[in-house]
Chains A and B, each alone.
Chain A
């Protein structure tokens, strides 16, 4: 058995496909990005090495700063709005028995399986000040309508609403599963003690859900950092970079502003930020769990 299980060629043959995919599709592009990040390559013609100039410029680039700030806003929005709502709804849903439970769960998740391409265009219409759904709702409540949802001041919040709406089912589902995994004995004990729903929720559900919440929070922060597709189609970072995100910005810089080298430098910093964020969050939550 030991011999069979340490046969080098066999091991290699098993791992090789995975390693090749990793090398070719993840590592190689990163290396190429690092190289181009040090050049002034425009995307065509010759590339010239310029050292750390791109990275130095990045520090003064207000649009890049705005992108990071937007990611932070988004993450805060997810954590402070989407997740509390998702936990509450999950807890309420858990109280429901029978068929209705399944039906609601199914409905909440539907937006999640729809393509971002559809979602982004749909919300463009929903936000339209002339005939959009939201303004018609506002009018139904007596407001004159014509609210500019995607103005420079509002746009980032409007983007946040779309993302919360789109991702709500996902978060809810995970909390819901977490709640289902809580030992019912705990609830019985609480009900014997005469605790009401709210106390039970605060004293039992929330504390027991801690690991799930941690996973969800990590995912929220990472997905806020990685945001691109919705914004690309909904606002393309506008008006005037007010909804810019890192991934969208590097794409624009490389393919629109003819700064392929600069775009790659942004890409490198982007990767570093994402790796650091993941590692940091994982360490924080691991320490807490052990403590």
Chain B
């Protein structure tokens, strides 16, 4: 019985067409420049690596790892640290130094690093807003795609990390945008998982009436709300989402009716009190804690937070009752319930100018051995990796994990890159700031669309 189920999952995951979407536009213009800078980087690396080849294998090597996972005791950060410790045990001459920052701080510092001298192994995002400029600057080392044929990456998951058919990084997760909810709280109050957006809104009204915050939202950072907007758009435009957004970014014109409607829905929802008071200034931790302390009934976040179900800091009566659903369908929208907002975002890469490039790639490959990131990630409930995880099903998965896996298995299509990551980083900065203004009502929808359009030019 289980075999059959895993096979179905595998098939499901493989057949989901991975629309990388908006990455293509604009690539060709900069291609010739980047090839030049790439070769320059390449030569330097080769010189470096020949110098290293002469050294004996027990030479002391330090690999600097720059990570976006500051919490080393839970979830994904724990998994990363476990692999690092294992690697250092297996290779006593290698020391791996970790610098870990929150996503926002990480991205800021990454760009600062990119100017001159990156750490050896870095977290990256296979999305235009992040990767285009990084690859143009030639700071990442090219990887040999053939090396990874046995690593069982899900079809299409590497696409976001490629440029001109060359591979520069490997994806860590498959991320799905979810509403986490507290099953027990729902049951106790007779609330039901909504099937349509209308139901979601009226559910939020009921929850509010009970004196509880409906949805905890990390609005201070801007990107979760952009993902939320993406999710709404997917339900409105269905599989056309990626197309609409990439056209809008290319033209700097966001007045497409789907985008307008989605923004309006976001504004209405925020206005109706769907999110906690002060959501637009609160950070990730604050929003999540509202939910994990039972102050909010739902929490809008990506599938990587599935590890909440195993987090010892969260009280068991909440931790054990966390479940998830995806954005409900919107009346008149083209998107079906099975068209979900999901993408292969985060991952790792090696710096092109690393002094210990060979060793760094060796470590990278070690992490991606299917029984490392994927297996440990699965066991620690961090959600779905970008590799085939079916071999590691233990039967003792948390309910939440099973649910999320079902969601992906049953997906008819997945969206690809969220809207904020589809343009240059100036666009990303603009939309993540402007979306706060439009959702809290101090900017009109038209001004919002005009402002993010202007940032693309």
Contacts and interface: CB of A to CB of B under 8 A. Distances in A.
Direct contact of A and B (CB under 8 A): yes
Given A152-B280, A255-B109, A238 B220 contact: yes
B276 A130 contact: yes
B429 A152 contact: no
B114 to A, nearest CB: 5
Interface string B410-439: 000000000000001110111001101100
A80 to B, nearest CB: 25
Given A128-B286, A239-B436, A257 B426 contact: yes
B442 A152 contact: yes
A258 B286 contact: no
Contact of A257 (B219, B280, B429, B442): B429
Interface stretch (A39-47, A162-170, A209-217): A39-47
A153 to B, nearest CB: 7
A189 to B, nearest CB: 54
Contact of B437 (A129, A236, A240, A252): A240
Interface stretch (A84-92, A101-109, A143-151): A143-151
B136 interface: yes
B334 interface: no
A153 B426 contact: no
Given A44-B114, A255-B111, A151 B133 contact: no
A63 B436 CA distance: 14
Contacts of A70: none
A34 to B, nearest CB: 18
Contacts of B280: 151-152, 238-240
Interface residues of A, number: 37
Contacts of A237: 433
Interface string A42-82: 11111000000000000000010000000000000000000
A83 interface: no
A238 B433 contact: yes
B111 A240 contact: no
Contacts of B155: none
B295 to A, nearest CB: 6
Contact of A43 (B33, B115, B276, B278): B115
Nearest to A262: B426
B442 A44 contact: no
A101 to B, nearest CB: 40
A235 interface: yes
Contacts of A43: 111-112, 114-115, 133, 137
A45 B133 CA distance: 9
A227 interface: no
B443 A238 contact: no
Given A44-B133, A151-B280, A256 B425 contact: yes
Nearest to B112: A255
A152 B436 contact: yes
A148 B270 CA distance: 14
A45 B220 CA distance: 31
Nearest to B220: A238
Contacts of B134: 44
A112 interface: no
| Best-buried of B37, B281, B425, B442 by chain A (most CB within 10 Å) | B281
B246 to A, nearest CB: 19
Contact of B429 (A44, A146, A256): A256
A258 B295 contact: no
A238 B111 CA distance: 21
A174 B295 CA distance: 45
A190 B134 CA distance: 72
B139 interface: yes
A214 B230 CA distance: 54
B440 interface: yes
Given A45-B137, A130-B295, A238-B220, A260 B115 contact: yes
Contact of B278 (A148, A256, A257): A148
Interface in A131-156: 146-153, 155
List the 8 closest A-B pairs by CB distance, nearest first: A44-B137, A240-B437, A150-B281, A257-B429, A239-B436, A45-B137, A239-B280, A255-B108
20 contacts: A44-B114, A45-B133, A45-B137, A46-B33, A46-B37, A129-B276, A130-B276, A147-B277, A148-B278, A151-B280, A155-B281, A235-B281, A238-B220, A238-B281, A239-B437, A242-B442, A255-B112, A256-B104, A256-B425, A258-B133
Interface of A: 42-46, 63, 124, 127-130, 146-153, 155, 235-242, 251-253, 255-260
